[in-house]
Structure 1
Amino acid sequence: MVALDRGARGGESRAILRELVSGLRAVERAGVTVGVGLAVGAFGAAANRPRQLVEMPAFAGDLLDPARSHGDVLVQVAGDRAADVRAAVEGLLPAVPGWRERWRIEGFRAENREEGGRGLARNPFHFTEGFGNPAGDGETADRALVRAGQGEPEWAVGGSYQVVRIIRFATELWDKDSVSEQERIIGRRRDGRWLDGAPVGEEPNFAADPKGRLTPLDSHVRLAAPDRRDPPPLVRRSYSYDRGDGDTGLVFSCFQRDLAKGFEAVQKRLEGEAMAKYLLTTGGGYYFVPPPGDHWIDALR
């Protein structure tokens, strides 16, 4: 991921946005998505802006570094080979002289695979994640994509609000705990099985465990989704990172059509979770990923 700000060079707003879109040809060997931040979203008339696009606030326990947070646009480059992704990013920057790098981070998905239609990977705490995502395209779109009649401008229909959180993991502290304690903090087995014995492909009945005897009340999964049959309306696609010198963690990324009902509702429920002492969010931001094409550039006026 690379967050960019408009450079000191002047110019009409839509022109420099088109320069960016044109420069993305430099990353043709890899997949790429672009999200606009608050400053770009505010280019045009208020009626044409994504309604919920604001600067990401600091939540309980966050220590946001301004140099690693926010940005006018977020370019996310993905590929099967890390060398290709790095080359694509390096090729992009010279191609967009109207933009300057604000921050970047390189991520990876250990043991990346698909099971039951869900993309799974192992995070730095040794747990497999991704089981909470929908398995079908229809439900994925329902959770992630802005709908007509939602109160958003017409051009934004089919787009998505993206939340990025750079979360540093206290892996040395975490690894001092027993595996069973780690599983109680998360609320699942390392391989994704539920603590109450429910198989991976089924949802646990938390209502049958009101005192948290099987799945603790302050476990991550229980707070994130108290009713697993009514999951949060968001889709996750996160990456591990390792900057060296013990700075390892997760580039948490999720997409939703409604920030308040999606990420923000989950984040507020997670205040006071047992895992909090092992996590420190240091950066990231809110962005709006436009629908395919570049017609959105003309809409921001």
Structure 2
Amino acid sequence: MVACDRRPGARGGAGSLRALVSGLRDTESDGVSVGVALGSGVFGAAGDRPRQLVPMPSFPGDLLDPAQSHGDVLIQLAGERVDDVRAAVERFESAVTGWRVRWRIEGFRAGNRMEGGRGLARNPFHFTEGFGNPADEREVLDRALVRDGQGEPAWAVGGSYQVVRIIRLATELWDKDSVHEQERIIGRRRDGRWLDGASVGEQPNFPADPRGRLTPLDSHVRLATPDRRRPAPLVRRGYGYDRGDGDTGLVFSCFQRDLAAGFETVQKRLAGEAMATYTLTTGGGYYFVPPPGDAWPAAVATG
């Protein structure tokens, strides 16, 4: 991921969104896909901003570094080969002269695979994640994409709110705990099975465990979605990162049609979770992924 700001004075020409999109097209290759999301700062006075798009606030326990947060646009380049992605980043930076890099981070998905219609991977805490996403593509789109009638600008229908959180993980401290204790903090087995014995494809019976004897009340998954019959309306995708010198963690990314009902509701529920001892969010931001097509740069009206 690369977050960029428009260079001072580069309002037109090289500093326009049209130039940025053109540079992205030059960056794409057979082995690398490229996507763009818009930060609140990219909208000019005449811009038709998505109604919930604001700079990401600091939540309890966060320590956001301004140099690692926000950005006018967020570019995500993904591929199977690290060298291909890094070469694409270099092509992008050389092609788009009206923009400067605000922050960047490289991510990876250990054990990345598709299983039961879901994209799964192993996070730096050794747990397989991705089971919370729907397997049905129609439900994925229902959770992620803005609909007509939400009060959003017409150009934004079919787009998606994206949240990125750079979460530093205390992996050395975590690894000192037993697997049993780790599983009680998360609320699942490492392979995704539930602590009450339910299989990955079933729902745990939290109401039958009101005191948290089987699944602790302050476990991550129980706080995030206390009623598994009503899952949070978002789709998530996480990446591990390792920047050296012990700075390892998770690049959390999620997509939803409504920030308040999706990420923000879940984040507020997580206050006081047992896992907070091992995590520190240091950066990221709120962004909006525009719908397919070429109409949105004009709607944003940045020159």
TM category (shorter chain) comes to over 0.9
User: Equivalent residue for 2:236?
Assistant: 236
The one-letter code of the counterpart of 1:33 is G
User: Equivalent residue for 2:279?
Assistant: 279
Which runs of 4 or more aligned residues in structure 1 lie more than 2 Å from their structure 2 counterparts after TM superposition? 8-15
User: Equivalent residue for 2:68?
Assistant: 68
Q: Is the 8 A contact 2:4 2:99 kept in 1?
A: yes
Residue ranges of structure 1 left out of the alignment (5+ in a row): none
Q: Is the 8 A contact 2:15 2:97 kept in 1?
A: no
The one-letter code of the counterpart of 1:35 is A
**Offset at 1:8?**
2.4
Q: Is the 8 A contact 1:44 1:300 kept in 2?
A: no
Task: Give the TM-score of the pair, scaled to structure 1.
Answer: 0.97
Task: Give 2:37's match in structure 1, choosing from 31, 35, 40.
Answer: 35
2: CA distance, partners of 1:221 / 1:241? 22
**Offset at 1:12?**
3.0
Deviates more, 1:1-10 or 1:152-161: 1-10
Q: Is the 8 A contact 2:38 2:289 kept in 1?
A: yes
1: CA distance, partners of 2:233 / 2:277? 26
1: CA distance, partners of 2:11 / 2:64? 31
1: CA distance, partners of 2:147 / 2:287? 17
Q: Is the 8 A contact 1:27 1:77 kept in 2?
A: no
2: CA distance, partners of 1:93 / 1:289? 20
Residue ranges of structure 2 left out of the alignment (5+ in a row): none
Deviates more, 1:12-21 or 1:272-281: 12-21
User: Equivalent residue for 1:102?
Assistant: 102
2: CA distance, partners of 1:149 / 1:13? 35
**Offset at 1:197?**
0.3
Q: Is the 8 A contact 2:188 2:194 kept in 1?
A: yes
**Offset at 1:185?**
0.2
Superposed CA offset, 1:40-89 (max 9, x none) = 1x32536x210000000010110001000000000000111111011001
The one-letter code of the counterpart of 1:146 is V
User: Equivalent residue for 1:5?
Assistant: 5
**Offset at 1:26?**
3.1
2: CA distance, partners of 1:52 / 1:294? 22
User: Equivalent residue for 1:139?
Assistant: 139
With over 3 angstroms needed to count, the CA separation of the structure-2 counterparts of 1:44 and 1:155, relative to structure 1, is farther
2: CA distance, partners of 1:185 / 1:11? 49
Superposed CA offset, 1:130-183 (max 9, x none) = 000011110001000000011101000000000000000000100010000000
2: CA distance, partners of 1:186 / 1:175? 14
- The equivalences for 1:245-256 within 5 A come to 245-256=245-256
CA RMSD of aligned residues (A): 1.2
The one-letter code of the counterpart of 2:87 is A
For the residue of structure 1 that corresponds to 2:16, the secondary structure is helix
Superposed CA offset, 1:173-214 (max 9, x none) = 000100000000000000000000000011111111111110
Q: Is the 8 A contact 1:13 1:43 kept in 2?
A: no
User: Equivalent residue for 1:181?
Assistant: 181
2: CA distance, partners of 1:14 / 1:44? 19
User: Equivalent residue for 2:227?
Assistant: 227
For the residue of structure 2 that corresponds to 1:97, the secondary structure is coil
2: CA distance, partners of 1:95 / 1:14? 9
- The equivalences for 1:50-69 within 5 A come to 50-69=50-69
With over 3 angstroms needed to count, the CA separation of the structure-2 counterparts of 1:14 and 1:225, relative to structure 1, is farther
Deviates more, 1:75-84 or 1:24-33: 24-33
2: CA distance, partners of 1:293 / 1:15? 20
2: CA distance, partners of 1:10 / 1:112? 40
User: Equivalent residue for 2:79?
Assistant: 79
